Structure 1
């Protein structure tokens, strides 16, 4: 079979994958052949429990679909790591942990110009993984950090925004699990701002009936912004800004108010009167400018609707969505041309070409993906003459599935770090969905750990993924060069390092795979990591270390220790969980580099995170160790 035949086979399989799991309208059409060069430099290196697949980047590609077969002639299937959405990655390398150890596979990679345009499969190469022998030493990875280096300012993509479902929750006096919903959501946003540095929050249903901005009396529109003011006043008091998602449809303005989504029945219908929709948008934006000031509001993002490429969120046609976009963008710009409007806030990277081609203002691109790091949209923006267009991933996470246990795990924490490290310096915002488990798209939380999307549980206990971002936030502002060699280096085991103004060096290491079948860990993927720091100018340092893994900084483990049989903790259990709501830190010790170098050995389970920090000391605080 020729490479061309393999490429056509791959495209057909991609169509099938994009049309499964209820996502058929995500694919939004036939997958066509992209005018991209084939991948070169493909390698597949066997390791214990994993195969590291690497290749040279292809100009113009937004991502890559890694394929595998059991024989060189195929058939080739996209490696399915179980994350759903778009089974593609933005760049190499890729750790395949889904194969059977000891079995030979053949790998090929296809570049993507869009999620609907796939380039050719490259000539395949053999690869596989090996099984670990019982009692064998852990495979070694060596990470080297140049403490005297400088690769530029550290970019933290999570700081731009976080999700929070619908912000009317801030006004809710009800209890969930015995906890006050509105009060706890406010505290969750405060923690996101104060501990993670998050600057803004995006939420659904700003124009929906739960905030009650629009109604009709005797057939005439009436506006009431009082509840919206209370919500946005709170957001700004917390030091954050809102990302204004302009939706859903007020019931009185809907063409078909029976078309709804979510437990709170958000209306997904187009408007019955397009002029009144434009008037509503214009009145809302005008009110925000009047209340908060132009100099504030021009820093906000106004996003048009949510995932209209999914019929569950938009009952109209694609053409009607673009009519909505044009009417909305025009109304926003009539208030002030400097206010930023964009979209399409699409699921699974859909409709990006259409958004870039729409005959209306586009001040930023926004889209969503789950289960994989975000793709690289810069080539698409550049191809449309907009190389500097802000790129906002306004929803992102380890899974789009409500109530999936993976959301509460260390696996999700390593996933967040992989995505943030990948997105750094190429994406303006990568927003974890969402801040808090106070969330009711499909109803309110039934128990403490129920697979909620939140970084924080009901009760505002930090999940491992919150701690992952908190550790990344500890890094300094000057990024340092990092290299890695060994079994799974850069594909399984990654590191991010930075230096603070006082010379403190932080090194954040994690061991993780995208493969959801390894959510609970896999001993064959555990690694011994030697972190070697060079270029240290000081004579003595304080070494501090934090861990996130099955037994450390893990609310699920603590809940199990406390019994964890009931849906919700009793008061004594709540107190015990609150006392344990902190990062697990080892006893600090003092170390002395030799020749400006220092090596720290650590065991890093999969999934697992280890953060070490070297703070220079001017005076001897005690014995070195």
Structure 2
């Protein structure tokens, strides 16, 4: 049997095992039962192909679950097909999953914790419009909330500032009119632009940096290193979070004549390479060395990571102390104090932890105490959980045990991350860091949505939503050089990466690159029209030289619309006010089906599994951020500049208005 056949069969077994266990949560996840009030106001606004829901935020909520029913059926959580947490952190919310022309009943519940919804709001009814239908003044509110402003889709007391991730809504077009207006105040009060992608990005296990193998004819180790360099130089990323620093491929632990032997030379190799790229590690303390495992046959992934508790807790503690001591000796105390130490990965899933929940709390406690015994100034936390779980439970445990904690970390896919600030505050720990150490559009390997433009708008929605309320939102992952369930079988295979094998930039990479091009000072912006703030969103800023940048995108969380839906396409009018008199150079970049979409280029080339050398050359030549129109120089006399353009769903536009001397 060939080595390739063996590898393929091993990957197939790993995939089957993964699918069988990935959805299983650990028992006992009920937590406390504090109940929050229902949202006092719920508005439902009908639009073309969508219904926008808005509600009054509930103090203490970490997020909200939207419910929907039809024809008198019991309300059920609205599923936008994200495959993970369906809750959202704040309003507004666009439901594009319904059938246009059919009336649905909606309600919303506030969440105390991810699996603890409160009572439902008073329900409202609404109908998504067909492509040509308009129904002015159809907004409905729960009784006693006040009338709706006709045609605006907002309550009469319209917000002056938006919920995170959305511009404020204001009077505008009637429902069904495809025009969305974006008004930016270039002279308005500013605040620093928060870029939550910069602290960290996810990656494959770092021993991949040492690989001399190839995928699709491309060198794995060299291209993986280059992908991480691109994260640093083009997106401003500062650190990398990866699994398996304690796995056997790095040889950290073995036993000789019954005695433990520690060897961190291979850890040094990968950390040296990472630091040479200008990046720091997030030290995820996982998985279990085989000779230390209580059950070495319990594994995950094609590379056989052991997921069992240690058979000897004292030897585990000594391993952690030895590793931390070595890192301090090699890299210096001041450097390592910048590295978060995170305990394990997704122990609330059976696929990642074969022990009990109580055993995980023990693992957390002995591990963080071991780290801090070496240096009390090091940063520790967890639970690195799946689907936003176990955060409250971990805070319960550290309250009871006195175990140290500096940050909470968790993961979610398919929706913007929830807001854990109220949960930390309830435990009297508002100072805790909040690290989303994995986040992305889907938890499913080889999902085609990962290569679509849809992922670009999803990524912008999540980053904009999280700005100002998290310390890090780590996109999972940097590169399609990835082997958890087997290496990539073709160039476009639905990989998790921002970059393909060969380091071609996917649409979602360009979305982040555009966000990183925003100026330093965030500007106030308002949106009005059909889907304003829920379907179409914006992010605007200026720099110290007076250049104004405006990012606008059109997207839904509904993954059944990943290929687009013309009912959700919109026309956009961006008006920038408060500009100094003079001439401005206006440039406009796009990410959509026909722009900045390398997968589309591959399709045009009649792409097979992997490019030929000639095709690689053609792909690299077209691996660019595309301008929508040639740049223009326009005079600004009254302080205002207006730009009109169509914006498909999914689609992204980025405007840059630069004063010309």
- Pick the TM interval, shorter chain: over 0.9
1:363 aligns with 2:406: yes
Unaligned runs of 5+ in 2: 1-19, 134-174
Q: Which residues in structure 2 correspond to 1:3-402 (within 5 Å)? A: 23-25=23-25, 28-30=28-30, 34-71=34-71, 74-133=73-132, 139-357=178-396, 358=398, 359=401, 360-402=403-445
Equivalence for 1:549: 592
Matched position secondary structure for 1:587: strand
Residue 30 of structure 1 and its aligned partner are, at CA, apart by 4.3
Query: In 2, Cα distance between the equivalents of 1:563 and 1:39?
Result: 52
Query: In 2, Cα distance between the equivalents of 1:96 and 1:541?
Result: 38
Matched position secondary structure for 2:454: helix
Matched position secondary structure for 1:331: helix
Equivalence for 2:459: 416
1:592 to 635, 640, 646: 635
Matched position secondary structure for 2:342: strand
Provide Cα deviations, 1:386-431, integer angstroms capped at 9, x if missing partner.
1121100000000000000000111001000000000000000000
Matched position secondary structure for 1:159: coil
1:572 aligns with 2:572: no
Is the contact between residue 27 and residue 116 of structure 1 (CA under 8 Å) also seen in structure 2?
no
Query: In 1, Cα distance between the equivalents of 2:502 and 2:350?
Result: 34
Matched position secondary structure for 1:275: helix
1:607 to 650, 655, 659: 650
Residue 33 of structure 1 and its aligned partner are, at CA, apart by 5.4
Query: In 2, Cα distance between the equivalents of 1:28 and 1:406?
Result: 33
Query: In 2, Cα distance between the equivalents of 1:521 and 1:21?
Result: 32
Unaligned runs of 5+ in 1: 1-19, 619-625
1:492 to 535, 555, 574: 535
Residue 74 of structure 1 and its aligned partner are, at CA, apart by 4.2
Query: In 1, Cα distance between the equivalents of 2:101 and 2:189?
Result: 41
Query: In 2, Cα distance between the equivalents of 1:361 and 1:306?
Result: 18
Q: Which residues in structure 2 correspond to 1:418-567 (within 5 Å)? A: 418-564=461-607, 566-567=608-609
Provide Cα deviations, 1:235-255, integer angstroms capped at 9, x if missing partner.
111111100000000011111
Residue 21 of structure 1 and its aligned partner are, at CA, apart by 9.3
Matched position secondary structure for 2:250: coil
Is the contact between residue 370 and residue 400 of structure 1 (CA under 8 Å) also seen in structure 2?
yes
Matched position secondary structure for 1:229: helix
Equivalence for 2:169: none
Provide Cα deviations, 1:344-385, integer angstroms capped at 9, x if missing partner.
000001111121122210110000000010000000000011
Residue 543 of structure 1 and its aligned partner are, at CA, apart by 0.6
Query: In 2, Cα distance between the equivalents of 1:219 and 1:190?
Result: 42
Change (3 A) 1:95 1:27: farther
Residue 545 of structure 1 and its aligned partner are, at CA, apart by 0.8
Query: In 2, Cα distance between the equivalents of 1:382 and 1:207?
Result: 33
Is the contact between residue 31 and residue 393 of structure 2 (CA under 8 Å) also seen in structure 1?
no
Matched position secondary structure for 2:204: strand
Residue 538 of structure 1 and its aligned partner are, at CA, apart by 3.7
Name whichever of 597-606 and 586-595 sits farther off.
586-595
Residue 27 of structure 1 and its aligned partner are, at CA, apart by 7.9
Is the contact between residue 177 and residue 530 of structure 2 (CA under 8 Å) also seen in structure 1?
no
Query: In 2, Cα distance between the equivalents of 1:28 and 1:445?
Result: 37
Query: In 2, Cα distance between the equivalents of 1:244 and 1:534?
Result: 46
Query: In 1, Cα distance between the equivalents of 2:272 and 2:435?
Result: 24
Structure 1-normalised TM-score? Answer: 0.94
Query: In 2, Cα distance between the equivalents of 1:118 and 1:47?
Result: 28
Change (3 A) 1:442 1:488: same
Change (3 A) 1:453 1:517: same
Residue 90 of structure 1 and its aligned partner are, at CA, apart by 0.2
Is the contact between residue 33 and residue 119 of structure 1 (CA under 8 Å) also seen in structure 2?
no
Matched position secondary structure for 1:291: helix
Change (3 A) 1:377 1:162: same
Residue 165 of structure 1 and its aligned partner are, at CA, apart by 2.0
Query: In 1, Cα distance between the equivalents of 2:309 and 2:612?
Result: 46
Matched position secondary structure for 2:25: helix
Is the contact between residue 33 and residue 120 of structure 1 (CA under 8 Å) also seen in structure 2?
no
Matched position secondary structure for 1:323: helix
Is the contact between residue 246 and residue 285 of structure 2 (CA under 8 Å) also seen in structure 1?
yes
Query: In 2, Cα distance between the equivalents of 1:539 and 1:573?
Result: 46
Is the contact between residue 538 and residue 616 of structure 1 (CA under 8 Å) also seen in structure 2?
no
| Number of residue equivalences | 596
Is the contact between residue 538 and residue 617 of structure 1 (CA under 8 Å) also seen in structure 2?
no
Residue 138 of structure 1 and its aligned partner are, at CA, apart by 6.4
Is the contact between residue 129 and residue 176 of structure 2 (CA under 8 Å) also seen in structure 1?
no
Provide Cα deviations, 1:304-342, integer angstroms capped at 9, x if missing partner.
000000010001100111111111011100110010010
Name whichever of 114-123 and 508-517 sits farther off.
114-123
